[in-house]
Structure 1
C-alpha cells in the first residue's frame, strides 16, 4: 500500500512547531480581490528586527506552500518580512487550475495584496522588494510595470521566464486552429506537455518531495495559458528598457525550463543604473529548492549579499 503524503514537505510535525524551529512566524489568510479570493502567507523573523519587506511569487503549477516556502523562510531568517500569494488558478487561490489567459489581470490580483501590505502603517517606510521565480518572474515583472514609479526598492528574479524556450513555444498552427473555435478552446488542457518538473530539479531526493506536492498542477497546459505566456514574453522583451529599478537576476546554464537568455537580455537591455546578473555553471532551473544543498547555498549567499547591500544603500530615508 502506498504511504500517504504527509501534510507538509517536512513531514508530520505541527506547522507552528516547524516554523518556530526555523526561526520564523507564519500566518495564512485569504485576501479578497475583484478577480477572486487569493491565498496569502507571511513569514516574519522571530528574533530579528525587520529591515525590509519582500513580496514573493512562485512559478507555473506551483504554490506558496510546499517547497517554495523554503525561499520565504530563508529570507525571513535574514531579517526580512516576507509576503507571498498563490497566483490565481494556483494552490489555494480561486480560479480555473493553471489557466493564465490574462497574465496582466493575474499579476494585478497578486499586486493588490502586495500593495495592501506595502502601504500599511507597519511597513510603508521600509525598503520593499519584489521576488519572482520562473513564470513568477514574468508575473513579477508585470507587477513592476503596473506599479507607481519608486514603489519598489529592487527586484529579484530566480530563473525568470522572459524568453520562451524553443521546446516550449506553442505551435502557431495549433493556436490558429484553436483560435477558430472563437475562444471556446482557450481553457482546454490540450497543449503538449514537456514534463518540466524533471528538467527543473537536479537533486533526486528533492525531485521526489516536489513531485509529491498535493497542490501541484500536473495536467497538460491550457491553450490560453501557452498563448498568453508566449505573448507576454514578447511584451516583456519589448519593454526591458523600461526597467529602471535595481535588480538581481540569477540563472543556471543547464536550465531545461527557462532560457538563461531571459536573464542575459534583461541585464543587457534594462535601463537600471544598478543591475546584477549571476549565471551558475551546470545548475538546473530550480536553483534553491532543486539543487544539492551546497549549490543552493551559493545562490542564497549571493541573494543575501545583494539584498542586504541594497537595504544599506537605499534604505536610509
Structure 2
C-alpha cells in the first residue's frame, strides 16, 4: 500500500537529527544529565551540560531559562551546549507549564512563583559544595529574560556574579500588548477564565534568513502551539511593567544581546535596562543590525556564531576579572 501523498516530513527525534543523545553530546565534547526536581510548586524537569573531560576545571556555573512556548530540550540546547564546550557548568529547568515540568501547558498564572520555582533548583546547585565557590551567572532568553530578572530580584545580594540576556522581553511590542478589554472581561469571571487559551495570537516576526531553523523550531514535540492563555498574558503585561520600574536594582555586570529588527521583544527594553541599571561598569549592550528575535536558533550560522563568540568573550572576561573575588564569598 502506498503512503498518502503530501504528508509533512517526519520530524527528527532530536533537534540535531536521529543520532543517539549520548553519541551526539560526546561528539560535541559535553556530557548531559536529566532529572526532576521537587519544589513546593510542583515538579520541574532539569538538565545539566558539562565539559566531557571530568578532569577539566569548570570556570563557572551558568543557569539558563528558555522562552515562552519553548523548553530546555530542543534548539535552546544549542546555547547550553556552547557554554559547556567553553568550560562552563550549565544548568537549565523547564519553566512551569512548559516542556516536561508540572503545570498546564502554556500557562503561567503567577510569574513570581514561576521564577521562584526555577530559582529553587538553581540555588540548590549554586549553594552546593561543588559550585558555591565558583562565579555563577543567570542567563535568560526572550520571556526567560523577564523571568531571569525576577530571579535576580528574588535572590540575596552577591548570589550572582552577572546576568546574560538574549533578546529579553522587557517591553512588549505594540502589536503584542494584551487587550485591556479582554483582560478585564475575562477577569470578571473570578479567575475561571485565567487558564483559557483565548487571547489573540501575537503577530509573528518574518521568518529568519536561515529557513531550516524556524522549521526546526516548530518541530519541537513539546512546544506549546495554542493561543496565549489569559493568565499568562496578564502576567507578561504586569511583570514587564514591574521590571521597567526596578531596573535601577540591577547592580551586577550584565550582557544584553539584541537584534535591531526584533518584533517579539522591544529593543527599547534592553536599552532602558542598560541606561537605568545601577551597574557602574562591565555592562554591555550588543546590537545586531537587521537581526530578529531568535539570535541563536533563528538566524544563519554566521550570525549565531558571532553572537555566541561575543557571549564567550564577555563571560570569559568576567570570570577572569571577578573569579577570585567570587570565590571568597
Q: What is the match of residue 27 of structure 1?
A: 33
Do the aligned partners of residues 200 and 272 (structure 1) sit closer, same or farther apart at CA in structure 2, a change above 3 Å counting?
farther
Q: What is the match of residue 224 of structure 2?
A: 217
Q: Using the TM superposition, give the Cα deviation of residue 101 of structure 1 relative to its aligned residue in structure 2, in angstroms.
A: 1.1
Indicate the SS of the match to 2:158: coil
**Structure-1 separation of matches of 2:239 and 2:209:** 28
Q: What is the match of residue 231 of structure 1?
A: 238
Match among 62, 65, 78 for residue 70 of structure 1: 78
1:39 paired to 2:45: yes
Q: Using the TM superposition, give the Cα deviation of residue 146 of structure 1 relative to its aligned residue in structure 2, in angstroms.
A: 0.3
Conserved in 2, the CA contact under 8 Å of 1:170 and 1:227?
A: yes
Conserved in 1, the CA contact under 8 Å of 2:110 and 2:235?
A: yes
- Equivalent positions of 1:1-317 (< 5 A) are 1-47=7-53, 48-194=56-202, 196=204, 198-199=205-206, 201-274=208-281, 275-316=283-324, 317=327
Q: Using the TM superposition, give the Cα deviation of residue 9 of structure 1 relative to its aligned residue in structure 2, in angstroms.
A: 1.1
Q: Using the TM superposition, give the Cα deviation of residue 200 of structure 1 relative to its aligned residue in structure 2, in angstroms.
A: 6.7
Conserved in 2, the CA contact under 8 Å of 1:254 and 1:284?
A: yes
**Structure-1 separation of matches of 2:94 and 2:278:** 30
**Structure-2 separation of matches of 1:225 and 1:311:** 36
Conserved in 1, the CA contact under 8 Å of 2:72 and 2:99?
A: yes
1:246-272 per-position Cα deviation (integer Å, ceiling 9, x unaligned): 100110001010011111000000001
**Structure-1 separation of matches of 2:208 and 2:245:** 30
Indicate the SS of the match to 1:224: helix
Instruction: Provide structure 1 residue ranges, at least 5 long, that are not aligned to the other structure.
Output: none
Conserved in 2, the CA contact under 8 Å of 1:199 and 1:257?
A: no
Conserved in 2, the CA contact under 8 Å of 1:200 and 1:285?
A: no
Indicate the SS of the match to 1:170: coil
Indicate the SS of the match to 1:315: helix
Conserved in 1, the CA contact under 8 Å of 2:70 and 2:224?
A: yes
Conserved in 2, the CA contact under 8 Å of 1:200 and 1:256?
A: no
Q: Using the TM superposition, give the Cα deviation of residue 202 of structure 1 relative to its aligned residue in structure 2, in angstroms.
A: 3.8
Q: Using the TM superposition, give the Cα deviation of residue 309 of structure 1 relative to its aligned residue in structure 2, in angstroms.
A: 0.4
Conserved in 1, the CA contact under 8 Å of 2:176 and 2:203?
A: no
TM-score by length of 1: 0.98
Q: Using the TM superposition, give the Cα deviation of residue 2 of structure 1 relative to its aligned residue in structure 2, in angstroms.
A: 3.8
Conserved in 1, the CA contact under 8 Å of 2:137 and 2:161?
A: yes
- Measured on the aligned residues, the alpha-carbon RMSD in Å equals 1.1
Q: Using the TM superposition, give the Cα deviation of residue 199 of structure 1 relative to its aligned residue in structure 2, in angstroms.
A: 4.0
**Structure-1 separation of matches of 2:207 and 2:114:** 23
Q: Using the TM superposition, give the Cα deviation of residue 195 of structure 1 relative to its aligned residue in structure 2, in angstroms.
A: 5.2
1:194-252 per-position Cα deviation (integer Å, ceiling 9, x unaligned): 253x5474421111111111111000000111111000000000000000011001100
- Give the stretch that moved more between structures: 186-195 or 140-149: 186-195
Conserved in 2, the CA contact under 8 Å of 1:138 and 1:161?
A: yes
